[in-house]
């Protein structure tokens, strides 16, 4: 029997397993191995005060089709739900102000909309309006950081108060470190075609034409009941054998089959497979690739990660929160909390008997913020949140801290080239595929696409081998 091994049971690995099943049918044996005791990786639904709550990723982009399509395939089409459409805010100078419309990852396309929000000082506004040409020939062929492009075009305030917090919300990373091409590929492409960055933003962010009176299409979605349902349903639909609580320690190819050493060092097991999808974060991926290609291992191993802690709280209902889905806090505000999400307000499908919200603490390079006990993090989040919404929050009825050490990859300039080089170094191994957030993008839909593509690659490799 042909066996495919998927290393890593996050959403990328599970999407790969399901795609392998679709391609290989019932005859293909599929094994998913994960070091954790549970599937899902960064997707984990937990409980707070007896209600479901996301302890990791919370929502997926629905403008890309993959997550909604996967939900449909595994019987969860009806469970896809969308946010209420409340605005989010930015905390600037200690006050919550609207996030300007017409921006792309915080990069402005509409100066008047930015001016209306009061996010920038008069000097910052004047500098933004005196936009310096940063597109066209001025954008080098290679990669740059988002921060360097934005600072040059619009000045420091736009970078610090708009772009850095928006990128921080997605990557827990810094605008001055993150690659433009890897984090905003459409903007990078448009910046080569336009002389002004604001024109590039408008070209990318142009809303799709819709009939008069038609409601705007939702941008985000989630699974009512929790993203862990998507994880479980995908695993079930894949028909894979699940081996949990077992780290894969080594990987090699003996010229015929893949050999994976799994489990305890004192009692290891060798699992053989005809094809492998490697869907783990960069560090374990690099370690496993050492037995296959030193060059690929090096290229993959340089990727850095940001760590963060999520403080989820349930408060009595009379803890009135602003009419917002949440807010982002620029690093220049000097606070530990970098974002807050008001789950009970944001998601209409939640009929919470308590007010459920979560704060995120920790940016890349600021790991020291996390050197606190859970109780200290909860107290800090509660205090900073209270200061920003302008009233002291009551003692939480329930509170939970989830720590994500090395949770989000930081794609620096040249990331795409490094991953392309790693794949090139592995091109002789047509039955090995790399998938997941370490390689192709952090968003859930992109991870699903990455898993599916890796499955297609190794299945084609298997078919070619048989041929």
Which residues contact ligand FAD by CB under 6 A? 7-13, 33-36, 41-43, 56-60, 247-248, 279-281, 284, 308, 310, 404, 407-408, 436-437, 442-444, 447
Rank residues 225 and 394 by Cβ distance to ligand FAD and give the closer one: 225
CB of 220 to ligand FAD, least distance (A): 8
CB of 281 to ligand FAD, least distance (A): 5
CB of 257 to ligand FAD, least distance (A): 19
CB of 428 to ligand FAD, least distance (A): 23
The DSSP H or E segment spanning 296 is helix 294-301
CB of 13 to ligand FAD, least distance (A): 6
Q: How many CB atoms lie within 10 A of CB 190?
A: 21
DSSP 54-118: ESS---EESSSSHHHHHHHHTT-GGGEE------EEEEETTEEEEPPTTEETTEES-HHHHHHHT
Rank residues 16 and 204 by Cβ distance to ligand FAD and give the closer one: 16
Rank residues 154 and 220 by Cβ distance to ligand FAD and give the closer one: 220
CB of 114 to ligand FAD, least distance (A): 25
DSSP 299-353: HHHT-EEEEEEEEEEEE-TTS---SSSEEE--GGG--SEEEEE-HHHH-TT---S
State how far the alpha carbon of 183 is from the alpha carbons of 32, 343, 445, in Å: 29, 26, 14
Dist. CA 30–CA 449, nearest whole Å: 19
Rank residues 64 and 129 by Cβ distance to ligand FAD and give the closer one: 64
Rank residues 8 and 433 by Cβ distance to ligand FAD and give the closer one: 8
Given a contact cutoff of 8 angstroms between Cβ atoms, the answer to whether 411 and 183 are in contact is yes
CB of 126 to ligand FAD, least distance (A): 35
Rank residues 63 and 210 by Cβ distance to ligand FAD and give the closer one: 63
Strands (E), 42-196: 45-48, 51-54, 60-61, 80-81, 88-92, 95-98, 103-104, 107-108
Helix (H, G, I), strand (E, B) or coil at 384: helix
Dist. CA 223–CA 42, nearest whole Å: 15
Helix (H, G, I), strand (E, B) or coil at 225: coil
Rank residues 279 and 380 by Cβ distance to ligand FAD and give the closer one: 279
Helix (H, G, I), strand (E, B) or coil at 86: coil
CB of 170 to ligand FAD, least distance (A): 8
Rank residues 248 and 337 by Cβ distance to ligand FAD and give the closer one: 248
Nearest to 272 by CA among 248, 296, 300: 248
CB of 277 to ligand FAD, least distance (A): 11
Rank residues 196 and 249 by Cβ distance to ligand FAD and give the closer one: 249
Dist. CA 460–CA 28, nearest whole Å: 13
CB of 175 to ligand FAD, least distance (A): 18
State how far the alpha carbon of 293 is from the alpha carbons of 266, 425, 439, in Å: 26, 7, 16
> How many H helices and E strands in the chain?
17, 22
DSSP 11-29: HHHHHHHHHHHHHHGGGSE
Rank residues 404 and 459 by Cβ distance to ligand FAD and give the closer one: 404
Residue listed under structure tokens 């007010």: 355
């Amino acid at each position: 029997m042909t066996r495919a091994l998927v290393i890593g049971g996050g959403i990328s690995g599970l999407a790969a397993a399901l795609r392998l099943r679709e391609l290989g049918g019932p005859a293909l044996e599929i094994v998913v191995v994960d070091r954790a005791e549970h599937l899902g990786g960064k997707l984990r639904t937990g409980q707070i005060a007896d209600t479901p709550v996301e302890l990791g990723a919370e929502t997926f982009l629905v403008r890309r089709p993959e997550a909604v399509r996967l939900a449909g395939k595994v019987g969860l089409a009806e469970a896809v739900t969308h946010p209420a459409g409340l605005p989010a805010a930015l905390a600037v100078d200690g006050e919550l102000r609207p996030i300007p419309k017409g921006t792309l990852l915080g990069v402005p396309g509409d100066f008047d909309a930015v001016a209306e929000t009061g996010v920038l000082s008069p000097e910052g506004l004047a500098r933004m309006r005196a936009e310096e040409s940063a597109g066209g020939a001025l954008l080098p062929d290679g990669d740059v950081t988002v921060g360097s492009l934005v600072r040059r075009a619009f000045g420091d305030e736009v970078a610090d108060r708009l772009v850095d917090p928006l990128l921080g919300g997605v990557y827990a990373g810094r605008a001055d470190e993150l690659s433009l091409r890897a984090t905003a590929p459409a903007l990078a492409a448009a910046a080569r075609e336009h002389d002004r960055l604001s024109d590039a933003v408008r070209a990318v962010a142009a809303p799709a034409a819709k009939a008069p009176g038609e409601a705007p299409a939702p941008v985000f979605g989630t699974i009512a009941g929790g993203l862990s349902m998507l994880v479980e349903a995908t695993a079930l639909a894949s028909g894979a054998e699940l081996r949990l609580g077992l780290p894969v320690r080594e990987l090699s190819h003996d010229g015929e089959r893949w050999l994976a050493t799994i489990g305890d060092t004192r009692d290891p097991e060798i699992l053989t497979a005809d094809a492998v999808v490697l869907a783990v974060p960069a560090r374990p991926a690099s370690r496993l690739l050492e037995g296959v290609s030193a060059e690929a291992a090096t290229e993959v191993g340089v990727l850095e990660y940001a760590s963060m802690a999520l403080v989820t709280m349930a408060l009595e209902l009379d803890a009135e929160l602003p009419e917002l889905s949440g807010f982002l806090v620029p690093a220049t505000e000097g606070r530990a909390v970098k974002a807050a999400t008001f789950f009970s307000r944001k998601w209409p499908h939640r009929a919470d008997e308590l007010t459920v919200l979560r704060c995120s603490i920790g940016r890349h390079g600021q790991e020291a913020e996390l050197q606190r006990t859970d109780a200290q993090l909860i107290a800090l989040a509660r205090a900073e949140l209270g200061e920003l919404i302008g009233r002291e929050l009551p003692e939480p009825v329930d509170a939970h801290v989830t720590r994500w050490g090395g949770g989000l990859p930081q794609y620096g300039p040249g990331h795409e080239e490094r991953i392309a080089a790693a794949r090139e170094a592995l091109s002789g191994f047509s039955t090995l595929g790399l998938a997941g957030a370490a390689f192709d993008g952090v968003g859930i839909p992109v991870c699903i696409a990455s898993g599916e593509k890796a499955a297609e690659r190794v299945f084609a490799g298997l078919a070619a081998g048989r041929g």
